[in-house]
Structure 1
Amino acid sequence: MTLRVGRTTAAMTAGAAALAVLTPATAFAAEEPSLQAHQRQQLRWERCSEDQPAALECTTVKVPLDYGDPGGRTIGIAVSRIKAGSTAKRHGVLVMNPGGPGAPGLTMPAGMEPLLPAEVRERFDLVGFDPRGVGRSSPVNCGLTADEQGLHHPYAAGTFGQDVARAGNVADKCWSKAGDLLPHMTTRNTARDMDAVRAALGERTISYLGHSFGTYLGAVYTQLFPRRADRFVLDSALDPALVWRGVLRGTTEAAELAFTRWTRWAAAHDATYRLGSTPEAVRAAFWDLIGQADRTPIALEGQLFDGNAIRAQYPVFVQVETATAFVAALKASTAGAPAAPGTTAPDTSTPAAADTPAVDTVDMDNVVSAAWAVMCGDAGWPRDPEQYRRDAVRDRAARPLAGDLGANIQPCAFWKSAPREPATTVDNNVKALIVQNEWDPQTPLAMAKGMRRALHGARMVTVTGGEGHGVLVTGRPSCADGDVTRYLTTGRLPAADRTCG
């Protein structure tokens, strides 16, 4: 899951369900006349903005706010494209989503174009969009303070009342500001919007590149519209069965595995970093540092870190060298020594702190507000605060690094209405290619394996030793690049799941 985009920068009716199995040629012919009107739009394309490449064009596609009432209120979905490099070789459109939920994607084609090989660029129009509730697509803004925008809050018995009040206040603010929109801000409706965009573009099918949350969005699309899904690449995948509270708790479970691996690496490099010559010594040094920071916050690069603030950096432990330099700098600071040149605190203020496709400068209030709208609208959450308390205590005991951060109470406990549709069960044979780093802090390998179990026709390529959140979208060379290029250009998946180094 991604709530940040780059460093500058988220029950179908019976008739609609039947549409999901129709062929692209007949799908819209069977829809209600009011929905047909939405797909017969005349799109007006123009340059997106002066600070974006001239090749990036934008338009707006009108969609129903409520797909159960297609003749009712409409909203606009902001859509962008960069046309395929070759008219003769053009295969279709490659729709993109950078993650979230809550991340804007309108400029993603411009960000991804230089990262894609020429043979892919010449075959596809690269298409981006701001999902409903985000950016230029009827944005949801709850007016949240910086504290309320934080996803992770550590559990303590003495502050749990404040956590409950904060979560309730976020829910109240969102419903006060955008109560007419919130019931319709779901992944399933965003997938329906994608299909409306497909129709408005005059395409029979779409290909797709989704990162992080975008993998779940892509999977939901394959479930609703299996015959309109062409070549789907899912980079750093969520487990659809865990949406959404299970995702938050699952990342902290994976953090313990990454932390253990990190202690081994730091011990092997004790001559450089002086954190301990054995994994046990490194672990003890880290928790001693946490204790010191709880007594007296540690200053590093103009920031103060108490123990909880250090624990909140848990995603960095998948990147062993960066994590070791960070912890060593904190330790040096307690002794009054300056940090090594170039040492900075890792940017993990939101769940995806790095390795995401740079697409736009974002309004963080909108990003977080839209994220809660989707996460609370997709699936039911516990309503009893005491359950969150019990889970936070239990998870912290089992996973000391960050267990409570994923289990503590969230605004969904106080959402004003239950989800209008059940969480989407992904279980189909649509072909897709899943690419995954072995060490991913936000969508861990176990989650990607869950996605693979749900998509029976898919193949998965695991980058052994790969660190960070994102394979293709980061632009770093990877052993999975050839598989992605081959699949997008020919439609051929690997013969079997594979790992590469």
Structure 2
Amino acid sequence: MQSRRIAPVLAVSVLATLAPAVAVAAPATSSGSGAQQLTWQRCSADEPAAFECATIKVPLDYGAPGGKKIDVAVSRLKAADPTKRRGVLFFNPGGPGGAGLGEPLMWNDLLPQSVKDRYDLIGFDPRGVAKSTPIECGTTPQERQVLRPYKKGTFASSVAWARTFADKCRAKYGADLKHFTSRNTARDMDAIRAALGEKKINYVGVSYGTYLGAVYTQMFPHRSDRIVLDSAVDPNSAWRGVVRAWATGAEPAYDRWTRWTAERHAEYGLGATPEAVDKGFWDLVAQADRQPIKVGEDLLDGAAVREAMRPVFFYRAEGAKILVQLKKAAAGEPIEVPPPYVVQDNEMSLFNTIVCGDATWPRDPATYRRDAVRDAARFPIYGDFTGNITPCAFWDAPVEPATKVNNRVGALIVQAEWDSQTPLAQAQAMHRGMKGSRLVTVDEGETHGVYRMGVSDCADAVTTAYLTTGKLPTKNVTCAADPTPPQSAQQPEVTDQRNRLPLQARS
């Protein structure tokens, strides 16, 4: 399949799965890691001296704590005011596959002083990522295109690709691979907590980080203090249901976009009615299927156009601008194309390792064929992508059942109404699973990643108050989006590392 990238947008999407897993559950403790003493040193000569790093040894398999150990890299910035310090604040930027070692530096630039005064800011590369015993299956750039459109004529090759991806990882890592899961990452977090000498952790997780945070609260409810889940997934549909939510979420976002764009026909020239805008988009898709559109060095067929446009339909102005550019390219006019983000082997290998290992996937390729055909009819923009086969169909069975999140741990869930990666319904499902939580919804918010991202002063104030006082709102809160929220002209859905699931390529 041809590589895809487009003007200000992305290209590779990923993820998947359903069903509970089978097998014996490992203990929900960090036993075997002990209360290690962390040896802190300056992370890098190029970074502030106050930014310190250390490495902790954790069991590969918590069910066999005396066995093989792996490394988990940890970082910190100490609380700005030791007299006000109340604990540690962990961060996870998303993924699975996102490196988190640099999170304290990023958040130090974003957080209000009242939060920085109270917490040591703690980052870590989750197991399998970057400096934490990285998983690299030896995949090619072509193999790292994980979400692929369903076509009758190419389904056999898609099945072969999925099998090859899984076989490469299995051949390199064997049985070790099954221990790189979200549940074990949560256990690693608890081992870090113990090594830091803390009774509880506070936490800010974005995107996939919301799932990891929810899993931690389920496994370690008495170790969970102030928990912020920003741009949340439905923890009880991980992972195939989470991905397929992209298809369902795209349809209302597209309808909203056609209405908005039609009202601005004088500016964009894409149609004076929603029906005309809709027709223009699908005419472009059909044109690209007949004659692929040259964008930079790539040729985009109709599926590539749909893949590129799905996320930006949530960003009304950006969606209109990008479609204008695509139409220019289709007419043979030159357009500017920024350098593509190249997904690395570690990112995509670890991504599949986690999502395939967290829960059981359908094993029969015919299931994916049926789902893709059905979803394409129901959700024409993206259903064939999210229903189609993935490497998880050929992965080894998980070692533990999928985590069922159902607890009363207090948490604050923060969500934009029009989030392209984790649609609002996903956050609402997280709120139902976490019965002690409160949900802050940014009305008309167009972003993935809310807190301190210039999206809503109201949402920022509620979140900061929770982190500094520990008091949740008495009920769910609806906040207005700021009048002119900043949007990246180059990648509207990915303004920084934390705003991604790598469900998408960078998003």
1:127 and 2:122 are equivalent in the alignment: yes
Once the two structures are TM-superposed, the CA of residue 346 in structure 1 deviates from its matched residue by 11
Once the two structures are TM-superposed, the CA of residue 308 in structure 1 deviates from its matched residue by 1.1
1:366 and 2:346 are equivalent in the alignment: yes
* Structure 1 Cα separation of the partners of residues 27 and 135 of structure 2: 26
2:269 is matched with which residue: 271, 274, 280?
A: 274
1:207 and 2:207 are equivalent in the alignment: no
Once the two structures are TM-superposed, the CA of residue 344 in structure 1 deviates from its matched residue by 4.8
Once the two structures are TM-superposed, the CA of residue 180 in structure 1 deviates from its matched residue by 3.8
What is the match of residue 404 of structure 1? 384
* Structure 1 Cα separation of the partners of residues 175 and 400 of structure 2: 17
* Structure 2 Cα separation of the partners of residues 50 and 265 of structure 1: 50
Once the two structures are TM-superposed, the CA of residue 225 in structure 1 deviates from its matched residue by 0.5
SS at match of 2:244: helix
2:429 is matched with which residue: 429, 450, 457?
A: 450
* Structure 2 Cα separation of the partners of residues 194 and 299 of structure 1: 46
Q: TM-score, normalised by structure 1?
A: 0.88
After superposition, the C-alpha distances for 1:450-497 in whole angstroms (9 at most, x for unaligned) are 000000000010001111211016355542000111000000111100
Unaligned runs of 5+ in 2: 1-8, 16-21, 481-507
Once the two structures are TM-superposed, the CA of residue 257 in structure 1 deviates from its matched residue by 1.3
Once the two structures are TM-superposed, the CA of residue 112 in structure 1 deviates from its matched residue by 1.3
SS at match of 1:312: helix
SS at match of 1:460: strand
User: Is contact 1:226–1:430 with CA below 8 Å preserved after alignment?
Assistant: yes
* Structure 2 Cα separation of the partners of residues 411 and 240 of structure 1: 21
Matching of residues 140-151 of structure 1 within 5 Å: 140-151=135-146
After superposition, the C-alpha distances for 1:400-439 in whole angstroms (9 at most, x for unaligned) are 1011111110001011x21111000000000000000001
Task: Using the aligned pairs only, state the percent identity.
Answer: 55
Deviates more, 1:122-131 or 1:305-314: 305-314
After superposition, the C-alpha distances for 1:188-236 in whole angstroms (9 at most, x for unaligned) are 0100100000000000000000000000000000001101100000000
* Structure 1 Cα separation of the partners of residues 144 and 454 of structure 2: 29
- Specify whether residues 382 and 285 from structure 1 end up closer, same or farther in structure 2 by C-alpha distance, changes over 3 A only: same
After superposition, the C-alpha distances for 1:303-349 in whole angstroms (9 at most, x for unaligned) are 4322111111211111111110111111123334444xxx65797x7
* Structure 2 Cα separation of the partners of residues 458 and 202 of structure 1: 27
Matching of residues 175-194 of structure 1 within 5 Å: 175-194=170-189
* Structure 1 Cα separation of the partners of residues 131 and 331 of structure 2: 49
1:113 is matched with which residue: 103, 108, 118?
A: 108
Unaligned runs of 5+ in 1: 1-5, 20-27, 351-362
Runs of 4+ in structure 1 deviating by more than 4 angstroms, as ranges, are 10-15, 343-347
1:237 and 2:248 are equivalent in the alignment: no
Letter in 1 for 2:347: V
* Structure 2 Cα separation of the partners of residues 137 and 464 of structure 1: 38
Matching of residues 281-360 of structure 1 within 5 Å: 281-313=276-308, 314-339=310-335, 344=337
User: Is contact 1:153–1:408 with CA below 8 Å preserved after alignment?
Assistant: yes
* Structure 1 Cα separation of the partners of residues 182 and 94 of structure 2: 12
Letter in 2 for 1:370: L
* Structure 1 Cα separation of the partners of residues 261 and 337 of structure 2: 18
User: Is contact 1:13–1:68 with CA below 8 Å preserved after alignment?
Assistant: no
Which structure exhibits the higher relative contact order, with contacts defined as CA atoms closer than 8 Å and separated by 6 or more residues? 2
Q: How many residue pairs end up in the alignment?
A: 461
What is the match of residue 450 of structure 2? 471
* Structure 1 Cα separation of the partners of residues 425 and 84 of structure 2: 38
Once the two structures are TM-superposed, the CA of residue 500 in structure 1 deviates from its matched residue by 1.1
1:461 is matched with which residue: 428, 436, 440?
A: 440
1:247 is matched with which residue: 226, 238, 242?
A: 242
Tell me how large the CA RMSD over aligned residues is: 2.1
What is the match of residue 468 of structure 2? 489
User: Is contact 2:23–2:398 with CA below 8 Å preserved after alignment?
Assistant: no
